[in-house]
Amino acid sequence: MTIDSDIMFETFLRMRAETVETRLRQLLGESPLSGEIARPGHLMAAMRHGVLNGGKRLRPFLVLESAALFDADGEAALRVATALECVHCYSLIHDDLPAMDDDDLRRGQPTVHKAFDEATAILAGDGLLTFAFDIIADEATPLPADRRAALVLALARAAGPGGMVGGQALDLDAEHNKPDETGIIKLQAMKTGALIRFACEAGAIVGGASADERERLAEFGSAIGLAFQLADDLLDLTADAETMGKATGKDAAAGKATLVSLHGPNWARSQLVGLVNQAHDLLEPFGERAIMLKAAASFVAERNS
Amino acid sequence: MTIDSDIMFETFLRMRAETVETRLRQLLGESPLSGEIARPGHLMAAMRHGVLNGGKRLRPFLVLESAALFDADGEAALRVATALECVHCYSLIHDDLPAMDDDDLRRGQPTVHKAFDEATAILAGDGLLTFAFDIIADEATPLPADRRAALVLALARAAGPGGMVGGQALDLDAEHNKPDETGIIKLQAMKTGALIRFACEAGAIVGGASADERERLAEFGSAIGLAFQLADDLLDLTADAETMGKATGKDAAAGKATLVSLHGPNWARSQLVGLVNQAHDLLEPFGERAIMLKAAASFVAERNS
């Protein structure tokens, strides 16, 4: 009997997600760490609400599988993966705020400012972002200090004003000043691409990869980041809200141009094929060991929720 | 002719502030750093608006002077000082938001969400917080990687859910659940104390101080953090809005208990004398070299704006 490789990948992704979720739950507990004065229960509950939401944990998966290519320390990779997920979830909490996208639901659950209040949601996001750097820099992440510092720097650069936060700012601006194709590509590379690129590059840093290998993983990350966004734009156009667990058709409603709205779904589907091929080619030097990362690239391009 | 030592200190503080401001302006420019895709002009302008506001730069001053005790690298100390100021200013931007303190003015100028808009203010704060860790972790901060990692960790812990952000969360909660004296002390040690403590400890880390010296500087920071908050509460009770450049009497209006409202201004003034003496005693081992830090302790306790 042949087992369906998609089902096999999704099962493996879910297993990894459980490992990440367990660690996130533990890290976001209420016992203060050394040097912390106290962890207010209400704030920690809001942080957990924003993080422990049944996400697919795609970015942590990419960190873990990229790290595995280089026989990296598993505990170090897991901590970096959880830190990245904290950054991703902080960005969702702030993005959902009334002043930003004003979303009431995320994965079918009330967003943090709905379940708590706006002020608590702002602080929960701030707390998660700050804590992400704590997790990486801590000596409990069993890596030489130069790698911990390199990871902090790469994450800050991917998430900061020249990366994700900058992309969110461009996205706000796009409602008034419609970007052209080049502008859309830049916006998306920053808003969603930078963190996915970091996920793959981070595995290489954790594993002490060479500069060439690190660049190769980063390029792999860029390719699937692009694929992720194209698939997202396709889904926004074609899926219904129930499947997605959040509002769809929002781009069109907001008058936001995407590459899919410019070029149409068929163009997007053919781009996706090209990006997956490119991503797979980048992993050729790693042979069979890269099979889960290759499957991740296909999964990202073909996902339907 | 004798020169008034208060005037001498304030002149020195202003000179240091100019150095810090120049560097902040340079770091918050619009040319992307390596690994950044682009720095959106609007976002960077909002970040600069929140940072380049003529602040006294007390926290950077404490970093620089603490570092000088240990003959630390001046460039490294300056970069860490600017990173800390980015964290302080991000916290003010988010604190001023309508969902938080809802302040229209800061130092007599429109707050970031007034000068720009709420969404941009949220992102400007997020960008500054993220960039602070970039500044420290970057190899452009000429320190061994273990010190850069230690600084990232100490800053994240001081600013995160067990420090400043946690203190802000407790402060929100205090409007509904009045804290007792122990609760007020904890809240203030987290909300304002943790970052001032970090400022002094950071200088010791930059300078490669021993664990004992690092702890001594951290304790000095805690003492002046307490003094800072007592002086602030006294000012809120007694100063007028024009001197402060922001609304005063807000604590009483919000029904917020402070140690000063519990024990009265005379008690607070005598506490301040005790804290300054304690702070000065902690610096005895450093002899005359600590004179500017001692002056800073007195300045914090006696400031009238």
Contact (CB, 8 A) for B252 and B261: yes
Cα–Cα distance for residue pair B63/B57, rounded to 1 Å: 10
Q: How confident is the model at residue A276 (pLDDT cuts 50, 70, 90)?
A: very high
Could you give the 3-state DSSP secondary structure of residue B105? strand
pLDDT of residue B288: 95
Out of B40, B119, B169, the one facing A99 most closely (by C-beta) is B119
- Dmax over CA atoms of chain A, in Å, equals 57
Averaged pLDDT for residues B213-225: 98
The string of DSSP codes covering A160-204 is STTTHHHHHHHHHHHTTS---HHHHHHHHIIIIIHHHHHHHHHHH
Mean pLDDT across the stretch B135-144?
Answer: 98
Instruction: Label residue B220 exposed, middle or buried (CB < 10 Å: 0-12, 13-18, 19+).
Output: buried
Angle at A99 between CA A97 and CA A104, to 5 degrees: 35
CA–CA distance from B283 to each of B81, B208, B279 (Å)? 20, 17, 7
Residues 6+ apart with CB under 8 A from A177: none
Residue B241 has pLDDT above 80, yes or no: no
DSSP label of B117: -
Measure CB to CB from residue B162 to each of A36, A137, A173 and give the nearest one. Answer: A36
B297 three-state secondary structure: helix
Per residue in B161-181, pLDDT (tens digit) is 999 999 999 999 998 889 999
Percent of chain B at pLDDT exceeding 70: 93
Distance CA B260, CA B266 (A): 9
Using CA atoms, how far residue A189 sits from A70, A151, A166, A222, A301, in Å, is 26, 20, 10, 8, 16
Instruction: Give, for B242, the enclosing helix (H) or strand (E).
Output: helix B241-244
- Which of A94, A135, A152 should we substitute to test contact with B (largest number of B Cβ atoms within 10 Å)? A152
**Does the CB of B181 have a partner CB in chain A at under 8 Å?**
no
**Cβ contact A162–B32 (<8 Å):** yes
Does residue B253 have a pLDDT over 70? no
The SS3 call for residue B166 is helix
pLDDT band at A177 (very low <50, low <70, confident <90, very high): confident
Predicted confidence (pLDDT) at residue B244 exceeds the cutoff of 60: no
Q: What is the mean pLDDT of residues B136-159?
A: 98
For chain A, the distance separating the N- and C-terminal CA atoms, rounded to the nearest angstrom, is 28
Q: Return all residues near B147 (Cβ < 8 A) that are at least 6 apart.
A: B205, B206, B208
| Residues paired with residue B105 on neighbouring β-strands, in sequence order | B110
Burial (0-12, 13-18, 19+ Cβ within 10 Å), A251: middle
- For A174, half-sphere exposure in the C-beta direction (CA atoms, 13 angstrom radius) is 26
The ipTM is 0.96
As a whole number, mean pLDDT of residues B122-139 equals: 98
- The CA-to-CA distance between both ends of chain B, in Å, stands at 28
Burial status of residue B127 (CB atoms within 10 A of its CB: 0-12, 13-18, 19 or more): buried
Looking at the domain B5-302, which fold is it? Answer: Farnesyl Diphosphate Synthase (1.10.600)
Residue of A112, A157, A187 to mutate, testing the B interface (most B Cβ within 10 Å of its Cβ):
A157
Instruction: Enumerate residues 202 to 241 of chain B having a beta carbon within 8 A of any beta carbon in chain A.
Output: none
Dist. CA B68–CA A96, nearest whole Å = 44
How high is the mean pLDDT of chain B?
94
Cross-strand bridge partners of residue A105: A110
Shortest Cα–Cα distance, A168 to chain B (Å): 8
Q: 3-state SS of A229-294?
A: HHHHHHHHHHCCHHHHCCCCCHHHHCCCCCHHHHHCHHHHHHHHHHHHHHHHHHCHHHHHHHHHHH
Reduce the DSSP state of residue B110 to 3 states and report it.
strand
The one-letter amino acid code at A236 reads D
Supply A135's token pair. 């997790």
Shortest Cα–Cα distance, B2 to chain A (Å): 44
Distance CA A176, CA B240 (A): 41
Selection from A182, A183, A220 nearest residue A198 by Cα:
A220
Q: Give the residues across from B110 on adjacent strands.
A: B105
- What integer pLDDT is reported at residue B117 of this predicted model? 97
CA A37, A42, A45 angle in degrees (round to 5)? 105
CA distances, B45 to each of A155, A166, B51, B128 (Å)? 23, 12, 10, 12
pLDDT at B122: 98
Inter-chain touch B39–A166, beta carbons under 8 Å: yes
pLDDT class of A36 with cuts at 50, 70, 90? very high
